[in-house]
């Protein structure tokens, strides 16, 4: 067995292993989907009080969380 053949076999083995792991990860994410996180009430209170402190008389009407 020469060096080129050994490198080719190693490359194919790693490629196959990574493909199997990618498939397993895809299956796990299908079975257990990501949960939508809700905004913590303490966070809403902190933002509202900070805005009221910085701008007296202002009110917070909408808080959006960006990913």
Q: Global pTM? A: 0.51
User: CA nearest 65: which of 44, 34, 45?
Assistant: 44
Q: What are the sequence ranges of the domains in the chain?
A: 1-34, 35-67
Torsion angle defined by CA atoms of residues 10, 12, 13 and 15, in that order, rounded to the nearest 10 degrees? 120
**More confident site: 39 or 24:** 24
Over residues 25-45, the pLDDT tens digits come to: 999 999 998 877 678 889 889
Instruction: Go through the chain and tell me how many residues it has.
Output: 67
Residue 48 CB-density burial (10 A; 0-12 exposed, 13-18 middle, 19+ buried): middle
Task: Dig out the tokens for 23 from the structure.
Answer: 């498939």
Question: Rounded to an integer, what distance in angstroms lies between the CA atom of residue 51 and that of residue 62?
Answer: 12
């Amino acid at each position: 067995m020469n060096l080129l053949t050994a490198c080719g076999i190693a490359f194919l083995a790693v490629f196959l292993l990574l493909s199997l792991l990618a498939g397993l990860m895809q299956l796990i994410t299908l079975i257990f989907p990501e949960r939508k996180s809700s905004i913590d009430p303490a966070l809403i209170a902190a933002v509202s009080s900070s805005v009221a402190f910085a701008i007296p008389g202002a009110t917070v009407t909408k808080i959006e969380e960006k990913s």
